[in-house]
Amino acid sequence: MSIFNDNLERLKEIQVLGDIGDSEMKILLEPAQVNYLEIDIKGKKYPAWRIIYSRAIGPGKGGIRYHQDVSEDEVKSLAFWMALKNSLADIPYGGAKGGIKFNPKEVNQTELEEISRAYIDNFYPYLGQDKDIPAPDVYTNGQVMSWMLDEFEKKVGHHEPGMITGKPVELGGIALRGDATAQGGYLVTKELVNKFLPDKKDIKVIVQGFGNAGLFMTEKLDNDGYKIIAVSDSQGGIYNSNGLNIKDLIDFKKSGESVIKYKGGKVITNSQMLELDTDILVLAALENQITEDNAKNIKANYIVELANGPVTYEADKILAANNKIIVPDILANSGGVIVSYFEWAQNKTGQILEEEYLRNLLEKKMIGNWGKVYDQYVSYNGKITLRQSTYLIAVKRILAAEKYRGRI
């Protein structure tokens, strides 16, 4: 199954809806630049990519993923989604993504550092604050960003904190970045509830994925009184129809344990969890979680995509036919890159901006972007999905930028 082919199918629909000509659309059908090589560490080879999908609106921007299933098809898709996400978020970036194919749980800290530095040794000529700016993604974090910044600065011979975001505060990062993806997802989930479930009490939520995004999202929703009935990590899920004790569960998870070892619920598989009865299903793990095989069994009426690409193109159609509402990834998880933009802007200008100001700005942007997507969706009288609404806005803006540049 090719994730990228799914994206091309989605673009075909947008072309019709947006009345976009073939010659214009052509520029969006393939990435601007694909860099691939094998990182060699003492004879051990690690396939590695950095792909810039678009430079129309600004430099490349997007995270670097460490995972055993990383492939060119995946990185290309993630770079494509970054281009759309940045365009929709109205921040001055194109789109890019990187990845290294290996299991980060199977290497020690020294090896992790070697792999991270080697990635920069190989790709640094293509990176820089005005060329392409990486950030964390699945299984990369502030420590990895620090090694990468350090290696980059050694190579180029000057300080350039804006070449990477998601750094620790000591290296020019901003505290807000830590839970920004979840904060953005939480804000749009509240907007979703305001519009679609304004009077509902005791809203039930399931969260798939208990990494950075999923864990903080669960915490925020729990604090607001949502009833979290199940969560999962890569080992499996834990379910309690009366609601899980989230504070307790988070402490347990932070001690290094899988949620399936937690005693306050029943252990279930990830796929069983997706099909449970709930109001909202938050997908915060990986791609391809809802496919044509399980889409018809999904009971949640509302799905929030905190991960990138968790619902396939075929599944989208089945879910839409069953009147399920999906808040798509390029909107729901855009809080992370929006705060990356604040960090980058601060690094480039040397200005210090108050955390409260930035928190308010994030909120304003998320709610404003949701508003544009929702209003357009309503204006089509339910004939488009929220995803199509986001893609229409994002694609049109990229194509307008390309047009001004004289490339189409």
Name the residues that contact ligand GLU, by CB under 6 A: 61-63, 135, 137, 165-166, 308, 333, 336-337, 340
Q: With respect to ligand GLU, which residue has the nearer C-beta, 165 or 289?
A: 165
Calpha distance 339→135 (Å, rounded): 11
**How many Cα atoms occupy the beta-carbon half-sphere of 318 within 13 Å?**
15
**Residue 100's beta-bridge partner residues?**
48, 66
Contact 167, 150 (CB under 8 A): no
Nearer to ligand GLU, 79 or 318 (CB): 79
Show the tokens assigned to 360. 């308010």
Q: Tell me how far, at minimum, the Cβ of 61 lies from ligand GLU, in Å.
A: 5
CA triple 287-186-198, angle to 5 deg: 115
Token pair for residue 342? 């604040």
Q: Which residue is nearest to ligand GLU (CB)?
A: 63
CA-CA-CA-CA torsion sign (272, 193, 314, 64): negative
Report the run of H or E that residue 386 belongs to, with start and end. helix 386-405
Residue type at position 165: T
Shortest separation between residue 77's beta carbon and ligand GLU, angstroms: 11
- Beta carbon nearer to ligand GLU, 136 or 265: 136
38-52 exposure pattern, b = at least 16 Cβ within 10 A, e = fewer: ebeeeeeebebbbbb
Residue of 97, 167, 204, 324 with catalytic role: 97
Residue among 333 and 388 whose Cβ is closer to ligand GLU: 333
Of 330 and 386, CB closest to ligand GLU:
330
Give me the least distance between CB of 132 and ligand GLU, in Å please.
Answer: 10
Q: How far apart are CA 119 and CA 113, in angstroms?
A: 10
Structure tokens at 204: 């039930």
Pairwise CA distance, residues 199 & 311, whole Å = 28
**What single DSSP character describes residue 136?**
B
Q: Name the minimum Å distance from CB 152 to ligand GLU.
A: 15
Q: Are strands 33-41 and 44-54 parallel, antiparallel or unpaired?
A: antiparallel
| In the complex, least distance from residue 393 CB atom to ligand GLU, rounded to whole angstroms | 17
Distance CA 98, CA 72 (A): 9
- Give the nearer residue to ligand GLU in terms of CB position, either 129 or 240: 129
Q: Which is nearer to ligand GLU, 165 or 390 (CB)?
A: 165
Measured from the CB of residue 14, what is the shortest distance to ligand GLU in angstroms?
20
Return phi, psi of residue 56, to 5°: -60, -45
Q: How far is the CB of 343 from ligand GLU (least distance, A)?
A: 8
- 247 among known catalytic residues: no
CA–CA gap between residue 88 and residue 68 (Å, rounded): 30
- Compute how many other C-beta atoms are within 10 angstroms of the C-beta atom of residue 116: 23
Which residues are catalytic, by number? Answer: 97
